[in-house]
Chain A
Amino acid sequence: MRIALLTEGTQSYAQRAGGWPGRLAEGLPEHEFQRYALLSGPPPAQEEPGVRTLALRGPRPAGRGPGAVRRRQYVTAYEQLVRSLVVPRDRASFTVGLYRLAELAREDGALPAFLASGAAQRVLEKAWRSPGADTAAGQPLVRDVLVAGDLLEQCLRPLSAAWYAAGPGGLGDVDLCHVLGGGPAALPALLAKRLYGVPFVLTERGLHLREQYLGYRQAPYRWPVRALLLAFFRLLTEETYRQAAVLTPGSSYDQEWQRRCGAAPERIRVVYEGTAAVDRPPAGPEPEHPTLVWAGTLEPGSDPELMLHAFARVRAELPQARLRMYGVEGPPGYRDHCLAVARRLGLSTAVRPGQVPPAGGEDPAVLFAGRPASPAEAWASGTLVVFSARAHRGPRLPVDAMLSGRAVLATDVGVLREVVGPAGLVLPPGDPQGLAVACLALLGDEERRSRLGLAGRLRVQERFAVEPAVTAFREIYLEVVSRWPAFPAAVRRAGAVPRPFARPAEFWVAGRSVAKAAAAAEGAEGPEGAAEAAAEPGADTESGGDRAPAEAMAQAL
């Protein structure tokens, strides 16, 4: 199959060569992957061959605006889009406006210039100030119109990408789109589906919509801008979930959110992100002193304070206990705050970023060790690993901790319960006494500790290996293409009725090269093969030379 991988990210593709898209392409060599990257950072110094990129941020791409006649069409479409964002009763016109804008942008590419023009600003202001618009917590000012127009222009840049073509290299030429990440990255897939009937699979690691809701609270925008942009992201996400053939969230926790945003439960398959670290050997012998390891960004969300409070209680019972806090500082000054809390609790502290303390000797009770040289080293320096977060959205860190074979204690938030499961202790968040008791119980019971550690290691090795993820996607691809009735290559002719299940799933796997080889082999077989091909009745053979290898393949099967 030819698969378009659509990604969005701050880094260029070359920097993430070992990342998830790379592993997927490596694990499925039978498919051809064409990569499309939306960059939200600066463009890469050198374009990587085979990757088509589009900058989502930064200055607007140069280009002329539409002429007077076409501008009226642009205005109509943009007005529909904007009204759906600000007027609650017009929500339904979102898709109409979006697809109409996409159509216009594909024809002349004047969308970015139009969105920056005065006409677009006037449309936006008019819709925003019309009766019925939701401005409960603030009326839009002129600067809000400018800022929102600018942000919308950036979000809609994928509409004017030069990727939409039926010919080779375009999105119309692929059999399947695979979107990694949501939001604007899904726009090309939505268009490919609408224009060419190409189905798409949506994989989200950390839900785009939820990240926007959290991120925009710190953004320097007034309420109206925030409301408009978040309405855009929400409606776009809902449309994406409606149109996606299969959604593969990275955890059941994300699945709940997707269902809440309108994804049909029967189209959701949880696929855990595979990590190559599963082959790493388990951590060596435990350190001399009972040591707790805490890891995460130093920020209120991961709640290092709870850990410190619990540790003070542990230390009261077990004076030789140690605490190692790994992780970089989130909000500036938060580490000093944690240090102050630790001192108030009567714990001796030290800050030694990037160093593992020498075993034994005059260790302080609490060590803020910064970013460890390698995660394995961090886990090996402790007897227990504790996650005291109030919110935890990504599974990577606990998975890595469990791979070390150390016992894990985690609070029951976000993705932690699902990752840790029965192979560790799960406690309610915000309860230092309970956490301290659990830590003491585990520190005092070596047999239970090692049993939990081993169970945890086996659990993540089974669930979070690369192989299961790749296998899951292999099956999902097959399922999607086999169930998709209006398949482009099968129904290119006008007026043809799409036939569901017209091809067995394996038909698409073989790809072109195998199909050609099969056709050649059949040709060499002799006259009966050719005669059979010729005897095939009408409809299929008349569609031309491109179809011949496919037919041969179908027969061979």
Chain B
Amino acid sequence: MAGDPVRELMAAHQAVCEQACHPLEIAAALEEAGIGAATAGRYRHGDVFSLAEEMFARVPRRPGDGPPATDRRLPVGPAAPPASAAARLKPALALLGVLLLPLAGAAPAGPGGSAVALVLAAGAASGAARYPARWVRHTGRVQLRTAVTIAEFRARMRPVLPVALGLYLVLLAVTSFAALAVLTAVAPRPGPAVAGGLLHVVLQQAGVAQWCAQAALGLLLGPTAVLRCCGQGGAALAGLLAADALSAAGVLLRAGGLLPGWAVAPGAASAYAAGAVAAVLLPYAWIVLGRPGGYP
């Protein structure tokens, strides 16, 4: 004590000194602990500031424990309006439009049973799309907590969207297959029985174009759900509305007889509409998900 009075003080305020980012911070902490101008003389200093400077210089900085586990949520986006009923209704209506519009112009004799079954399957799968979307958001948040640099974060997030979309497409395929299987059981196709078992029969229920349309729909609904989950509801709604508009245009063209022959097959128009929008929406979602700011 007699030789080095500050040593004792440094030991008492070790944590503060190790974590301080400026001598003034130590000075504030010392004053808070009752060491003012009057007591600084005991440590051979004129005021608490020079005492704090000595302590700052003598104690090396050391990484601390970090903040408590409950990390602060960032208000990243601009002022978000409260989710009213109308705000929730709009995406739902747009989604219904995407699903139902292809049926409207399916065929002069009304939509076939397979088309209805596929729409029902897509509707069920669109409800389940929020699970892969939540998984993407959760992964993003976890990586955000642990990644060191933005580049590293982007690299870690790169496979997440393809994996989520792949899982979603598998889910969609399974529901579609189940719907068609039920259709096969309820209303078997007229004509001679086809050899090849149930799988073959069910696959034959829908044409190639219909399967393609279903896949395109999956590629549209998947990123839409992900974007909505990650605070980009506006982009998701815009994508759905664009798909609506394209489908409606297809229906009108078909009604006017202006469609070329190759687009008349059931499901073709729908495949083009959903596929075109998905081709834009997928890269956008890819870019958004690579940004560290995209996980509120």
A-B contact pairs, 8 of them (CB 8 A): A60-B76, A118-B291, A142-B150, A220-B67, A223-B63, A230-B22, A301-B32, A390-B34
Contact indicator A217/B29 (Cβ below 8 Å): yes
Contact yes or no, B21 A231, CB < 8 A: yes
Contact A60 B64 (CB under 8 A): no
In chain A, what residue has the closest Cβ to B69? A220
The yes or no answer to B177 lying at the interface (CB within 8 A) is no
- Does chain A have a CB within 8 A of B84? no
Q: Mark A117-144, 1 if CB is under 8 A from B, else 0.
A: 0100110010001000010111101110
Q: Which residues of A contact B16 (CB under 8 A)?
A: 217
Are B32 and A214 touching (Cβ within 8 A)?
Answer: yes
B80 in the interface, Cβ–Cβ < 8 Å?
A: yes
Residues of B within 8 A of A121 (CB): 150, 292-293
- Specify which of B31, B49, B77 is in contact with A414 (CB 8 Å cutoff): B31
A284 contacts the other chain (Cβ, under 8 Å)? no
A146–B75 contact, CB under 8 A? no
A212 vs chain B, min Cβ distance (A)? 9
Bound: A428/B148 CA distance, A? 49
CB neighbours (8 Å) of A417 from chain B are: 38
Q: For the complex, give the distance between the alpha carbons of A121 and B149 in Å.
A: 11
Contact of B149 (CB < 8 Å), options: A125, A150, A223:
A125
Contact of B61 among A118, A136, A429 (CB under 8 A): A136
What CA separation (Å) do A214 and B152 show in the bound complex? 34
B234 CB, min distance to chain A CBs, angstroms: 12
B74 located at the interface, meaning its Cβ lies under 8 Å from any Cβ of chain A in the complex = yes
Contact flags B43-74 to A (C-beta < 8 A → 1, else 0):
00001010000000000111110111011101
B39 at the interface (CB under 8 A from A): yes
B76 touches A146 (CB 8 A): yes
Q: Which of A60, A122, A136 contacts B75 (CB 8 A)?
A: A60
Selected contact of B49 from candidates A116, A260, A430, CB within 8 Å: A260
The total of chain B residues at the interface (CB under 8 A) is 50
Given contacts A142-B292, A146-B292, contact A391 B32 (CB under 8 A): yes
Query: When chains A and B are docked, how far (Å) is the Cα of A550 from the Cα of B31?
Result: 51
Point out the residues of chain B lying under 8 angstroms from A122, CB to CB.
Answer: 150
Interface flags for B6-40 (1: CB within 8 Å of A; 0: not) read 00000000001011011011011101111011110
Q: Is A451 an interface residue, CB under 8 A from the partner? A: no
| Beta-carbon nearest neighbor of A137 in chain B | B61
Enumerate the 3 nearest inter-chain pairs by beta-carbon distance, A residue then B residue, closest first.
Answer: A390-B34, A136-B61, A227-B21
Task: Tell me whether A59 and B75 are in contact (CB under 8 A).
Answer: yes
CA gap between A141 and B153 in the complex, in Å: 10
Across the interface, do A137 and B19 meet the contact criterion of CB distance under 8 Å?
yes
* Interface residues on chain A, size class: 35 or more
Residues in A whose Cβ lies below 8 Å from that of B24: 209-210, 213, 234, 260-261
The verdict on A413 contacting B64 (CB below 8 Å), with A59-B80, A116-B76 known, is: no
What's the least CB distance linking A176 to chain B, in Å? 30
Closest chain-A Cβ to B160's Cβ sits at a distance in Å of 15
Contacts of A226 in B (CB 8 A): 21
User: Other CB < 8 Å A-B pairs besides A118-B293, A414-B31, 9 of them?
Assistant: A113-B78, A125-B150, A137-B62, A138-B64, A146-B76, A213-B22, A213-B28, A220-B72, A301-B32
- The interface residues of chain B lying within 8 Å CB-to-CB of A260 are 24, 27, 49
Nearest-Cβ distance from residue A204 to partner chain B, whole angstroms = 15
- With known contacts A60-B77, A150-B76, A391-B33, A230–B66 Cβ distance under 8 A: no
Interface string of A503-528 (1 = CB under 8 A from B): 00000000000000000000000000
Given contacts A61-B79, A137-B19, contact A223 B31 (CB under 8 A): no
B289 to chain A, nearest CB (A): 12
Cβ contact of B21, chosen from A125, A223, A413, cutoff 8 A: A223
* A557: Cβ under 8 A from any B Cβ: no
Cβ-closest chain A residue relative to B70: A220
CA distance A143 to B291 in the complex (A): 12
Q: Which B residues lie within 8 Å of A220 (CB)?
A: 67-68, 70-72
Query: Of all chain B residues, which has the CB nearest A222?
Result: B66
Query: Is B145 among interface residues, defined by CB-CB distance under 8 A?
Result: yes
Q: How far is the CA of A226 from the CA of B18 in the complex (A)?
A: 13
Tell me whether B144 and A230 are in contact (CB under 8 A).
no
User: Complex Cα distance A429/B149, Å?
Assistant: 48
Contact with A along B135-162 (1 / 0, CB 8 A): 0000000001111111011000000000
Closest chain B residue to A224 by CB distance? Answer: B21
The answer to whether A391 and B31 touch (CB under 8 A), given A125-B150, A412-B36, is: yes
Kindly provide the distance from the CB of B151 to the nearest chain A CB, expressed in whole angstroms: 9
In the complex with contacts A234-B24, A256-B47, A62-B64 CB distance below 8 A:
no
Give min CB distance, B7 to chain A, whole Å.
19
| Chain A contacts with B in 191-219, Cβ cutoff 8 A | 209-210, 213-214, 217, 219
Asked, given contacts A220-B67, A221-B67, whether A139 binds B79 with beta carbons under 8 Å apart, the answer is no
Closest to B153 in A: A142
With a CB–CB cut-off of 8 A, which chain A residues contact B64?
Answer: 137-138, 223
Among B34, B37, B144, point to the contact of A430 (Cβ < 8 A): B34
Distance between Cα atoms of A209 and B22 in the complex (Å): 12
- Least Cβ–Cβ distance between B142 and chain A, in angstroms: 11
